[in-house]
Amino acid sequence: MQDALGEVQSVLVLGGGSDIGRALCVRLARARCRTVVLAGRPEDDMEPVAEAVRAAGATTVELVHWDSTDVESHQKVIDEVFDRHGDIDLVYVPAGILGSQAAFDADPVFAAKAVEINFGGLVSASLVVAERLKRQGHGTIVLMSSVAGLRGRKDNFVYGSTKAGLDAFGQGLGDALDGSGVKVVVVRPGFVRTKMTEGMDAAPFSTTPDKVAALIVDGLAKGQEVVWAPPLLKYPFFVFRLLPRFAWRIVADRAAG
């Protein structure tokens, strides 16, 4: 359980090779978190994350096979993690792929797979997690949305639609869990310089995994339901969501150019 100071002592990461997940778990381990479970596929390169978390102070670090698209296995995998460790304070869900709109246009099957990875599989896993957290009476789910999901753009609308769905799901799940002791936090980062965005031109207000992790930790401490990364992004996107479509196309074209 969270300790007397309300700090996280155990975390499960669904998408254990994530750069932001690594930064978050290192921050938590440097504080009071001692149990870290990294769940993902062998190709997700989770061992370096595990090593970094151990070096930061975690005493129990476990790697678990979990695949967002294997929804039939989610109940079993997640139940086993909770049964082994008895109590999980935080479940962080960064799993997903970025892809490119050109690749999705050329291969609609790949586009559908991205929807399955980024949205469908996370809905399945999050619902299983929510039920386990309700049973223990406390805990937090942190879902990684994106500003790309707040207004569709022609250069990334498949990816953006997956994040739009996850954002709406996270807000609804949080409302459904109100009063249960379980909280849901939706994180809306802009461009983050990670291995997933390597080689891409950085967008305005770009940030780093460590800065996003710091904002998540701060948001958890403050009880925030939505975390913007960086916080400044909430202001332009308040305006962007109100723009007529013809005006938004102009803004999006200039941003892409």
Rounded Cα–Cα distance for residues 125 and 243 (Å): 35
CA 167 to chain centre: 10
Burial of 245 (0-12, 13-18, 19+ CB in 10 A): exposed
Rounded Cα–Cα distance for residues 28 and 129 (Å): 20
C-alpha pair distances (Å), 142 with each of 91, 102, 170: 6, 30, 9
The three-point CA angle 112-187-78 to 5° equals 65
Q: Is 92 among the residues known to form the active site?
A: no
The three-point CA angle 160-20-133 to 5° equals 85
Tokens of 212: 């996003």
H and E: helices and strands count for the chain: 10, 7
Give the active site residue among 66, 92, 119, 159.
159
Burial of 88 (0-12, 13-18, 19+ CB in 10 A): buried
Residues designated as active site? 159
